[in-house]
Amino acid sequence: MVVMNLMSRILPLQNVVLDVEATSKKRAFEQAALLFENHHGVARTAVFQSLIGRERLGSTALGHNMAVPHGRIKGLKEPIAAFYRLAEPVRFDPADGRQAGLLFFLLVPEAATQMHLDLLAEIARMASNTELREALSTETDPERVHELLTTVEHT
């Protein structure tokens, strides 16, 4: 049986971008900010500042080449997400040198909700799934990647 997960509510197919050329975490954030502005009308400067501000509090790297850059956006009604696979991993955590090439961008309304915490937990579960990480790293079809991220198989 296939069940849609929380990610399916907030990750449109157009927000799955593979093999993004970015030379640094900052460049990846700038590209994601542009996507959120173009696809969702959220000002890119607000997105970028929110992501960078959160990152200053502590790295959002999860390990296993994954990170969850996220931020709160004033005036946002519902959470929205994007998934970027970078062409080459970038250094994410200056303290320990961890790199990330699979990035889950998560924007949430200013007021934190249980859904925000549930989404972070869901992404953490995905990060611990070796088969899923491998598929996200190698799959070339954005539609298939979207499917992998938005469905959970229950047996």
Give catalytic residue positions: 70
To the nearest 10 degrees (0 to 180), the angle between helices 114-127 and 130-138 is: 80
Distance CA 88, CA 152 (A): 27
Query: What residue spans of the chain are helical by DSSP H?
Result: 7-10, 25-40, 44-57, 114-127, 130-138, 142-150
Distances (CA, A) of 93 to 8, 39, 84, 97, 117: 28, 28, 18, 5, 22
Distance CA 32, CA 66 (A): 16
